[in-house]
Amino acid sequence: MLVDLDGTRRAVDARSSVEALHDVTHAEVLARYLRRMADQAGTVRLSPIWLAPLRDRVVLPEVLDPGAGWDGAEWRPSERWVEPAIGVVDDPAHRRQSPLRIDLPRGGNLAIYGAPGAGKTTTLLTLALALACDHTPADVNLHLVDFGGQALGALSALPHVGGVVLANEEEKLVRLVRHLSAELARRKAMFGEAGVATLPAYRTATQHHVPSLVVLIDNLPALVHTYPDLEDDVAQIVQQGARWEFTWSSPQRRRRWCGCGSPTASAKRSRCVSPTARTTARC
């Protein structure tokens, strides 16, 4: 004889009931009973304590700010300045899943570490696309240097891209480094004259829309290995440029170039975006 929690008595087969009792715990029986009662009473289920796990693949439009940036026809103004969203962060302690944003002006430079195939080039592509979606070409200029698998060339049609320099294009690379050095000196003078320290402050003070320059280098070690004569010039621009809003993002190993650490710690529970056909179509 079994007595249900509502007091109903039922005759049961002794052998099968012994097996059944071995298979289920008291807690499970109680939970099932309560669920049945709640279903009958039409009780609305509480939302779970944890949010659903992050999906394996997240596409860029899901993390971009829906109220700002490129809407398919024009760029709407954004409150954020050069803070591309490149993934999703899962923060279970606060029951929050939010875009993984990289504050480039604040960080100065971004180094992306990882084994071959870890997704470094994909991160650069995502970062460039997110910036292009967020800002007009008048606000953000991108310079791409590709010493990797030439994947950055896919971005050359973006109106933000000043040029893509490949590993065998020494003259173009030298011209780019010269251009950036000259621009660095020009900005130092301009900011000094206006008495400001940052690009947003300069833009506000003078109403002169000087763009943020973002330089993306795929495989910096290969660049300095192939062109050792350029190492000092590039290192100087990287070190001094952040203040004048030249931001460098590069998969690299050398600490000489900037003081940032591996992004892995903060990205432990995050999912980076993979640029897809949908992404490029929106941009």
Ligand X SMILES: Nc1ncnc2c1ncn2[C@@H]1O[C@H](COP(=O)(O)OP(=O)(O)O)[C@@H](O)[C@H]1O
If the CB atoms of residues 78 and 250 are measured against Mg ion, the closer one turns out to be: 250
Residue 122 interface partner, choices Mg ion, ligand X, none, CB cut-off 5-8 Å depending on type: ligand X
- Give me the least distance between CB of 166 and ligand X, in Å please: 16
Q: Exactly one of 66, 72, 116, 228 binds ligand X (CB under 6 A); which one?
A: 116
> Is residue 191 within 8 Å of residue 244, measured between CB atoms?
yes
- Give me the least distance between CB of 221 and Mg ion, in Å please: 12
Q: Exactly one of 119, 162, 163, 221 binds ligand X (CB under 6 A); which one?
A: 119
If the CB atoms of residues 139 and 146 are measured against Mg ion, the closer one turns out to be: 146
Q: Which residue is nearest to Mg ion (CB)?
A: 121
- Give me the least distance between CB of 42 and Mg ion, in Å please: 55
CA distance 139 to 144: 17
Q: Which residues contact 212 (CB under 8 A, 6 or more apart)?
A: 81, 82, 104, 105, 135, 139, 140, 141, 199, 245, 247
Strand blocks (E) in 113-254: 140-146, 161-166, 212-218, 246-251
Residue 274 interface partner, choices ligand X, Mg ion, none, CB cut-off 5-8 Å depending on type: ligand X
- Give me the least distance between CB of 124 and Mg ion, in Å please: 8
Q: Which residues bind Mg ion (CB under 5 A)?
A: 120-121, 148
If the CB atoms of residues 82 and 272 are measured against Mg ion, the closer one turns out to be: 272
Work out whether 122 is an interface residue with ligand X (CB under 6 A): yes
31-60 residues near ligand X, rule: CB under 6 A: 57
Q: Which residue is nearest to ligand X (CB)?
A: 119
> Is residue 218 within 8 Å of residue 145, measured between CB atoms?
yes
What would the two tokens of residue 76 be? 């709407």
- Please state, in angstroms and as integers, the Cα–Cα distance from residue 114 to each residue in 122, 156, 168, 215, following that order: 12, 25, 24, 19
Work out whether 118 is an interface residue with ligand X (CB under 6 A): yes
If the CB atoms of residues 219 and 247 are measured against ligand X, the closer one turns out to be: 219
CA distance 249 to 283: 21
Q: Which residues contact 111 (CB under 8 A, 6 or more apart)?
A: 250, 251, 252, 257, 258, 260, 261, 262, 263
Which residues of this chain interact with ligand X, rule CB under 6 A?
Answer: 57, 114, 116-122, 272, 274
